Each structure stands twice: as C-alpha cells, then as structure tokens.
Chain A
Amino acid sequence: MRPTVVVIAAFLLPAGVRADEVFLKGGGQLSGRVVSRTDQKVEVDVGAGRISVPASSVVRIEEGRSPLQEYEERAGRTAAGDADGWVALGNWAESKGLSTQAREAFHRAVAASPMDPRANDALGNVLVDGRWVSEDESYRAKGYVPFEGDWVTPAEQDAILRERAAADEADQKRREAESRVREAEARAADAEARAREAEAQQTTSDGIPVWYAWGGGPVYWPTGPIVTPPRPSRPIAPSRPVSPRP
C-alpha cells in the first residue's frame, strides 16, 4: 500500500482512537500520542514536547497503547511517598527510552527519600561529602566553569576565547581593507549568525555527539523540551555566512 493511502486512512480513524506509533522511511519512528493530523502534517507528543512531521514523510501510523500512556497510568497509581515504586517506574521508563519521564519518576523518588542512592545516581547526582549534589554542582566544586553547554577548565576557556579573539582580529583587519558598506553588512550578518549559533547551542547542545563514540546517533541530545519542529542543532552548511564579495 502506498504511504499516502495509509496516512489518509489513519486520518479517517474515529475521534478518540489514538494512533501512537508513527513510522518514517528507513526505520525512523516517533512514539507517543498523535495530537493532531492534517493532510500536511502529523503532530506527535513524545512526552518531552511535540514534534511536527510532514505527512509526506510518514510511511504508516499504528494505533496502540504507547509507553508514554503506560507511564502516565502507572504514575497515577504510584503513591507520592513510595520511593521504591518511583525508582521501579523510572527504571522502566528508561528501558523504553522515555528519559524525561524517567527523570520525573526519579525526582519523585528523591522527593520521597532524598538520600535514595538509586534515584540520585540515575539523575546523575554525585555524592559529595555525604550530600547528593547535581552533576553541575559537582563540576563547579572541582573548579570547572560552564562554557557553551559544556564544562571546561578556566584555562581552556581562556584559550578558546583568546583563539577566537585572534581570529576576530584577523577578520577585522581583513574587513578594514574592504569597503565600509560591505564591512557593515558582513558584521551584521556575522552577528546574526553568531546569535543563531549561540541560541542553538543554548537550546540543544550538550556534551558529546553520540556518533563520536559508536558510529551513529543524533548530533546532540536535547536536555530541555523538544521544540517543534526540532531545529537542526548543527547546520551541515557553514553556520557563518561568507562575507559578501564584490
């Protein structure tokens, strides 16, 4: 059956029936709750935000109970003070790739039992002098400083900034040789590109690309909510525009 036919068939499902597994070409998949469907796009709540997929990219949609729905049902049955129950639910959510829900469950476990090592460990907390602190706090305690979504030593930060300043200076000298009009245009474009780059890093960049380690994976994992539609976190084309040429 042609993909478009399948998608249209999915749109004709009666209201209230949820089609929760959205299959893309090549094995890509979205699992969650389909919240809207048109002939242009399918919007899926994946539990950490909503992702809009062009309908043309969808091979088929299968309705069914998604892990996200099961999580919500199990969470509704777990008592606030049941640390073991929240840890078990967090572990289950992790096994289903539901990182946001897993974190939520582990946070609930810590709320019920602040020193629970399983939940603290799963949240990435670190035991420092008998106290569980966040990963970030532990890095700060070791003298690292936050820099563009990562933690670096002050010396490395200085070196990177010096390197960039030198590059900027060289750029500046080059631009001075060009006409004032072109220079102003290039600066404006550069500033805009940098702002976009910084914004992208703030929202989506964190840590090491998975493909560095194992041969494949997204460029970066979002730590915050998934935006709709997810923006490319690392443009394939050069992120800074080339200075206009005469």
Chain B
Amino acid sequence: MSARARSLAVVLALLVPTLAASQTLDEIVARHVTARGGQAALAAVRTVRMTGHAIAGSGRQAIVRREIARPGRIRTEFVFQGTTGVYAWDGSSGWRVSPLDGGFEPEALPADEAVVTAEQADIEGPLVDWKAKGHALKLVGTDTLPGGPAHHLELTLQSGSVRELWLDAGSGLVVRTASARKLRGHDVALETDFGDYRETAGVRFARSIETGLRGRPRRLRIVVDSVEANVPLDDARFRMPR
C-alpha cells in the first residue's frame, strides 16, 4: 500500500465512527420526534397550558399552572398558602411577581432564573429541530437507568447551557435530564426524571416530573393533572406590566 493510500485509510478509519455516531444520533432524535407525536403534530401546537400540583418535602403542596406560547414565551403561576406568584418570559426578558419572596410589584427576573425560565419556553423541546435552533448535540453512549437502557446525549443549548438527556431506548422519549446549577453558593448536579407520558392534541407530554440533586434524597415532584393545547393566550399575559 502506498503512503497516500495508507493516509487515506487512516483518514477513513477516523471518519467512519464519527459518521456512524452522527447517523445514530439523527436516528435517535428522529425516533424521539416520532414518539412525541411527529413533526406535524408538534408544529400544530401553538400554545399549551398545563395545570398540576408540585409536591415537596414535609407535606408541602402547591398548585402550578404553566402556559407556553410560540415563539418562546412562558408564564408560570404558583399558588401556595394563599399567595399566587407569577413568573414569565416574554421572549426577550423575564419578570416576576413573587409574594413568597417579598415581591409584590412586577420586577425583572434575576439573570440565573431568567436563563432557566427562557430554556423552558421551547414548546416542543430542544431536540426538535435542534440544528436550526443553534444547539449542539452529541451522543455520549448508552446507560442503564432504572427503567432500562437509555441513550445518553449531551445538548449544548444556543445559550451556552449544557444539558444531559437520556432517551429511553425503547420508547424514544426523554426520561431523564441533568444539568449543573449553583445552589447556595456551591455547585450541584440537578437531575429530573420524566414519566407518565400521555397524549394531548396528538402530542405526548410528560405528566410526572421529579427533580432532585444528585446524591441527595429530597425530591420535588410535579404531577400534571391536565394539558390543554392551542388555548387562546393573550400576548399581555407574558409581558411585564408597566
């Protein structure tokens, strides 16, 4: 074999696994989109309202309502012990009225909360059209979770935030995400498990969301009682009142 042929062989040997991984990644994402209901059904959802309850330790329970509208707007209401707080992102800036935090007037969301809130405003999830959205995605491998094998992906959002995702190898649905956060001054790994997917308007939404810090026992559970698609949502609901 000539030197040129050997070089070509080496280059091909390096490229083939990459191409295979890329193809596998595309297949995994395509399967996920199909599992959610398909591109057309997802695109047909223009707004969504989810109502449920959040359960934390010591028997604390709150009513939660979340409204998301294209393009990239979200409003969450949190009802706890006679107080209703509002937390919203209008597509370019975030605001809140948060009586539990001592805030009775609309005020800008702190930067770290605004980033997380904005990331939740993607109505179909970040994997759908991830390239067009400017995200980067790579396949890390396959892990075994309590529910079975899952594809482990690493997603770098356009904002720069990094999120790990695990897609159930059987269903193609997201069953876990993980991301790094700062809590009370030190770094923690936040894990969220998703389950009880049910269909609304031809799209499957997780009805069970359970969040905790890796290595710690406490969990915050959100049980989604109802999902309504394409409800009319006035733009003003997302804008900070002046």
Contact = CB atoms under 8 A, between A and B. Distances in A.
B156 interface: no
- Scoring A67, A123, A142, A156 by chain B CB atoms within 10 A of each residue's CB, the highest score goes to A156
Contacts of A160: 186
A97 B99 CA distance: 14
B114 to A, nearest CB: 10
A92 interface: no
B99 A28 contact: yes
A201 B184 contact: yes
A48 B62 contact: no
Contacts of A100: 81
Interface stretch (A76-84, A175-183, A184-192, A203-211): A203-211
A226 interface: yes
Interface in A135-183: 135, 139, 142, 144, 148, 150-153, 156, 160, 163
B88 A28 contact: no
Contact of B84 (A27, A216, A226): A27
Interface string B172-187: 0000000001011010
A28 B100 contact: no
A151 B86 contact: no
A124 B86 contact: no
Contact of B56 (A151, A205, A221): A221
Interface in B101-124: 101-106, 110, 113, 116-117, 119-121
Given A99-B59, A151-B217, 10 more contacts: A28-B104, A48-B82, A51-B83, A97-B62, A99-B60, A123-B58, A139-B217, A144-B217, A163-B186, A219-B98
- 10 closest Cβ contacts across the A-B interface? A216-B87, A216-B76, A215-B120, A46-B82, A28-B97, A29-B84, A57-B104, A97-B79, A213-B211, A218-B100
9 contacts: A28-B85, A98-B82, A99-B62, A99-B80, A123-B59, A144-B216, A207-B57, A218-B80, A221-B60
